[in-house]
Structure 1
Amino acid sequence: MKSGQNTTSPDLLARELDLRAREFLVATARTRTTSRELPPVRAASVGLVQAWEAWAKVLARRDGERYERWHLRPDRAYGPPGAGSAAMELLVEAMRINNPQFLRTMTQDEVQRPVLLASAAALYQVRPHAVIEPTAALQTWLAQTDIGEDVPASLFRLPVPAVFLRFGPQMAAAVDPTLWSTLDRPCTTTGIYIFETCVDERRDIVFLAVGSAPGNPQDLPYALQLCFTDERDSLVDHALNAAPRDGNAATAVAMVQMCTKVLLYLQTPGAIRTDELRRDETAARLARAGGKKVSKLERRLASRYNRIIVGPTQAIQYGSGEVAPHWRRGHLRMQAHGPQFSLRKLIFIAPTLIRADRLGASASGNH
């Protein structure tokens, strides 16, 4: 007998297979259903990871063998490709048991979209994670900021192994026209999952953008992977040269640059940052609970998520000269310093609103 050989009666096993398959499909569908909740918070609320693991375990009981590739792992060597492959196999097997007729008629997009969104949400949950929320003022700044070509790839670093970068109107407006240009309807970027995976001597960064479109009840994904083999290379060049690795990547350059600007800002001297990390608090409360209280508490705490609030509450506006109001673009670049100016450090020169006072005057004159 194989290790873990199933000893459950065939009827009981068949019923559990159907139940766990249905739970996994429901959790996957609800994770993708557009709502006011952020995608990773939504996934936690519907118990995606729990449904994923329960489905993988009952399949192991059926076959008498544990399939390690189906189980989520928190280590950085296990990234979106592994989680995506597992989600694909689990989804297809769940459909084969629960709804085989629909499986036969599903298009590639109908399979790929829930796989991308579910695998990203699940991997985010099992890794140390946080939502990064730029303030409206910082979003305005970054939409008017350029990245110097001398900024090296080594500075692209995540504050935690898994990030969901929340987009507001200012950031979305700078990214949406190119990112979703192939769709036949307008689409707004809700946010972007970002994962770092280390493979041998290579560092991979995977972006999974989540968009919502009017009249479409389900989120839309866009995935892109950047590979860093030489950390001294220009970060801008990596974004601009992504197209050869992915035929559609040229549409994602603005997305990559916006994510990069947020992460670079976090590393600049004087960056304003407030951490609200609830993971330890949640774990402690669950440890004190018992029995039926645990599942009830898990559901209530699911909407309380780790987040890092980044940026000032309001942009400082000042200017000089009799010119029309306009933004002078900001810059994230390397600055020489130290002995004989031989060292380099990252600096952020904020955008400046020139003649902000005239904006008020113009508005008053229109009444």
Structure 2
Amino acid sequence: MMQTITIRREPWFFQDPLVNATVAKSVAALSPAFKHLPAPVRLRASGALRAWDLLSERDARVAKARRIVSDPDTGSHEAFMALIDAITPSIVLSKVDREGAAEDLRGKMSAIMMPLTFWWRGGALYEPTLSLGTLLSGSDIASDLPAQLLTPPLHTLCIVPPWQHRHYCGGSHAIFLFEFPSASAAASTGRALAMSSFGASEKGGVVAEGFCVTIDDENAPLQPVIDQELDRQCSDAGSAWELHQIEASRDRWRQRLDYVTKTLLYLRSDGAELRHLQPYSAAPKAFPGFGRRKREEKLAQVDQLYDRYIVGPASLEGVHGGEHGERLTPGQALPAHWRRGHFRMQPYGPQSSLRKVIFVAPVIVRADRLSTVD
């Protein structure tokens, strides 16, 4: 069945009908009608992605903005401003509250920009398993791991945690990662990793938040680099209210950074499990013999499919207490009688001159605390 989407009247509209229809479909992607889908897939399922593609073919300003946004070397703010500038000429704001209308549009475009950039840069979806989330939440990062390990496998990706583990990553339903050269880097090799969180408010609305880690020294210890970025953003606050707002989100971003960092480290470790599922690529896109309505219904169903990488083990069968037989259950917190897992560097190669990251899973250490098993 095709979905009928009702869009509330916004305090703004666009004189250009094509721009207006495109932004309206994009706003619809943020509605509860698509909450069952990962953030990037929402944009395609609502028809917004096709609308933006069509708009970029017919509007020179949007075409130019698309070239800027699609370039992985473009920073997040520059990409956002390029798209806003492209559609601004035809905007009409509410006369009742122009400032509020502009802020409303900016907030919605911030949320829309994440999945749009994802698609235009050819991003990939990564879904950690519930089992992997259990292992990561019960593991630590060694203090000597270098910042160079905080490198995604692609310059653009989206990590979608299981809903049971959203509390491990600050309530995020999805975390977008965009890697690009750092404009403020002291060296030409400096880079920035922009992270955008896509979540939901208590009222069901979409909440978009951003954070950027700048890495000028790839050999610097990873954890201090992250801590410095958190401290810098707090010190840059212009008022007490702004400082309070930043401090309020600090814990959430620490959780997100912890989840993202451990996921990326796991992907680099020996023995990492990764499966590529491609239901969207494998699905038929042409339906000869169908009428227009039936064909549109079929395409709407296909647009809700999505390719993704499944990261981590499907179960925790290999993680247990050895002869004691106790096993972890996906989704549970690490019991007190288990030793926490950890990521650390391990020497290898000629004369152990090289180092690689390894993941040591949690293991039982206090058999005396085991509960009786029938």
Give TM-score scaled by structure 2 length: 0.75
Identical pairs, percent: 25
Contact 2:127 2:159 in 1 (8 A): yes
Task: Tell me the amino acid that sits aligned with residue 320 of structure 2.
Answer: Q
Q: How many residues align?
A: 327
Deviation at 1:122, TM superposition (A): 0.3
- Aligned residues: CA RMSD: 3.4
Contact 1:20 1:58 in 2 (8 A): no
Contact 2:270 2:358 in 1 (8 A): yes
Asked if 1:303 is matched to 2:297, the reply is: no
Task: Tell me the amino acid that sits aligned with residue 143 of structure 1.
Answer: S
CA distance in 2, matches of 1:73, 1:191: 20
> What residue is the counterpart of 1:331 in the other structure?
342
CA distance in 1, matches of 2:71, 2:130: 33
Contact 1:239 1:257 in 2 (8 A): no
CA distance in 2, matches of 1:26, 1:207: 25
Trace 1:87-102 onto structure 2 (pairs within 5 A).
Answer: 87-90=83-86, 92-93=88-89, 95-96=91-92, 100-101=94-95
Tell me: CA distance 1:255–1:132, structure 2 relative to 1, closer, same or farther (3 Å): same
Trace 1:70-219 onto structure 2 (pairs within 5 A).
Answer: 71=67, 73-90=69-86, 92-93=88-89, 95-96=91-92, 100-101=94-95, 104-106=98-100, 110-169=104-163, 171-176=165-170, 188-199=171-182, 201-214=189-202, 216-219=203-206
Contact 2:169 2:256 in 1 (8 A): yes
Deviation at 1:164, TM superposition (A): 1.3
CA distance in 1, matches of 2:199, 2:62: 35
Contact 2:157 2:177 in 1 (8 A): yes
SS across alignment from 1:101 = coil
> What residue is the counterpart of 1:10 in the other structure?
none
CA distance in 2, matches of 1:243, 1:298: 44
Runs of 5+ consecutive residues of structure 1 not aligned to the other structure: 1-15, 177-187
Match of 2:19 among 14, 18, 21: 21
- C-alpha offsets along residues 3-25 of structure 1, whole Å, 9 cap, x if unaligned? xxxxxxxxxxxxx9542132122
SS across alignment from 1:345 = strand
Deviation at 1:129, TM superposition (A): 2.2
SS across alignment from 2:198 = strand
Tell me: CA distance 1:76–1:18, structure 2 relative to 1, closer, same or farther (3 Å): closer
SS across alignment from 2:172 = strand
Task: Tell me the amino acid that sits aligned with residue 345 of structure 1.
Answer: K
Deviation at 1:114, TM superposition (A): 1.4
Deviation at 1:58, TM superposition (A): 5.4
> What residue is the counterpart of 1:45 in the other structure?
45
CA distance in 2, matches of 1:235, 1:344: 15
- C-alpha offsets along residues 146-196 of structure 1, whole Å, 9 cap, x if unaligned? 1112222222232333211112255422332xxxxxxxxxxx321201111
Contact 1:145 1:332 in 2 (8 A): yes
Deviation at 1:258, TM superposition (A): 1.0
Tell me: CA distance 1:26–1:108, structure 2 relative to 1, closer, same or farther (3 Å): closer
Task: Tell me the amino acid that sits aligned with residue 204 of structure 1.
Answer: A
> What residue is the counterpart of 1:351 in the other structure?
362
Tell me: CA distance 1:250–1:108, structure 2 relative to 1, closer, same or farther (3 Å): farther
> What residue is the counterpart of 1:179 in the other structure?
none
Tell me: CA distance 1:92–1:354, structure 2 relative to 1, closer, same or farther (3 Å): farther
Deviation at 1:262, TM superposition (A): 0.6
SS across alignment from 1:154 = helix
SS across alignment from 2:44 = helix
Tell me: CA distance 1:56–1:264, structure 2 relative to 1, closer, same or farther (3 Å): same
Deviation at 1:136, TM superposition (A): 1.1
Deviation at 1:328, TM superposition (A): 1.5
Task: Tell me the amino acid that sits aligned with residue 196 of structure 1.
Answer: E
Task: Tell me the amino acid that sits aligned with residue 271 of structure 1.
Answer: A
Contact 1:155 1:264 in 2 (8 A): yes
CA distance in 1, matches of 2:102, 2:370: 50
Tell me: CA distance 1:104–1:73, structure 2 relative to 1, closer, same or farther (3 Å): closer
Task: Tell me the amino acid that sits aligned with residue 46 of structure 1.
Answer: S
Tell me: CA distance 1:298–1:229, structure 2 relative to 1, closer, same or farther (3 Å): farther
Tell me: CA distance 1:227–1:360, structure 2 relative to 1, closer, same or farther (3 Å): same
Deviation at 1:337, TM superposition (A): 2.8
Tell me: CA distance 1:174–1:325, structure 2 relative to 1, closer, same or farther (3 Å): same
CA distance in 2, matches of 1:72, 1:52: 14
CA distance in 2, matches of 1:31, 1:278: 21
Bigger mean CA deviation after superposition, 310-319 or 101-110: 101-110
Match of 1:239 among 217, 226, 246: 226
Contact 1:24 1:48 in 2 (8 A): yes
Deviation at 1:278, TM superposition (A): 5.4
Task: Tell me the amino acid that sits aligned with residue 22 of structure 1.
Answer: N
Bigger mean CA deviation after superposition, 79-88 or 243-252: 243-252
SS across alignment from 1:32 = coil
Tell me: CA distance 1:233–1:108, structure 2 relative to 1, closer, same or farther (3 Å): farther
Give TM-score scaled by structure 1 length: 0.76
CA distance in 1, matches of 2:83, 2:322: 53
CA distance in 2, matches of 1:347, 1:116: 37
